[in-house]
Structure 1
Amino acid sequence: MSFLQHGRKVFTALVLALVLTFTTACGTATQARQSPSATQPNVAYSQLERGNTTSGQSFGDWVIQTSHGLIRDAYVRDNDKLGAVISSDVRPNEVRTLARSLAQGFHNNFPNRNLTVLMYAPDKQLILTAKYDNQSHQIEYQ
Structure 2
Amino acid sequence: MSFFQQGRRFLTAIALVLLLTLTTACGGTATAKQPPAQAQSDRTSSYGQLAYGNSSAGQDFGTWVISASKGLIKDAYVRDNNKLGVVISPQVRPNEVRDLARSLAQGFHKNFPNQDLTVLVYAPDKKLILTAQYDEQSKQIQYQAG
What's the C-alpha RMSD, in Å, of the aligned pairs? 1.4
1:113: Cα distance to partner?
Answer: 0.6
Within 1, Cα distance between the matches of 2:51 and 2:122?
17
Task: Calculate the TM-score normalised by the size of structure 1.
Answer: 0.69
- Call closer, same or farther: CA 1:138–1:58 in 2, change over 3 Å: same
Structure 1 residue corresponding to 2:72, chosen from 70, 73, 81: 70
The one-letter code of the counterpart of 1:59 is F
1:107 matched residue in structure 2: 109
Within 2, Cα distance between the matches of 1:87 and 1:134?
29
2:135 matched residue in structure 1: 133
Higher relative CO (Cα under 8 Å, sequence separation at least 6) belongs to 2
Within 2, Cα distance between the matches of 1:109 and 1:124?
25
2:61 alignment partner, SS class? helix
Task: Calculate the TM-score normalised by the size of structure 2.
Answer: 0.67
Within 2, Cα distance between the matches of 1:63 and 1:123?
19
Within 1, Cα distance between the matches of 2:113 and 2:101?
17
Alignment of 1:1-142 (within 5 A): 44-45=46-47, 47-142=49-144
1:141: Cα distance to partner?
Answer: 0.1
Unaligned stretches of 5+ in structure 1?
A: 1-41
After superposing on structure 2, the runs of 4+ consecutive aligned residues of structure 1 that deviate more than 6 Å are none
1:44: Cα distance to partner?
Answer: 4.3
> Would you say how many aligned residue pairs link Structure 1 and Structure 2?
101
Within 2, Cα distance between the matches of 1:64 and 1:97?
17
Unaligned stretches of 5+ in structure 2?
A: 1-43
Which whole-Å deviations, capped at 9, do the CAs of 1:83-114 have from their partners, x for residues lacking one?
00000000000000000000000000000010
Within 1, Cα distance between the matches of 2:112 and 2:102?
15
Give me the identity figure in percent.
71
1:45: Cα distance to partner?
Answer: 3.2
* Greater gyration radius: 1
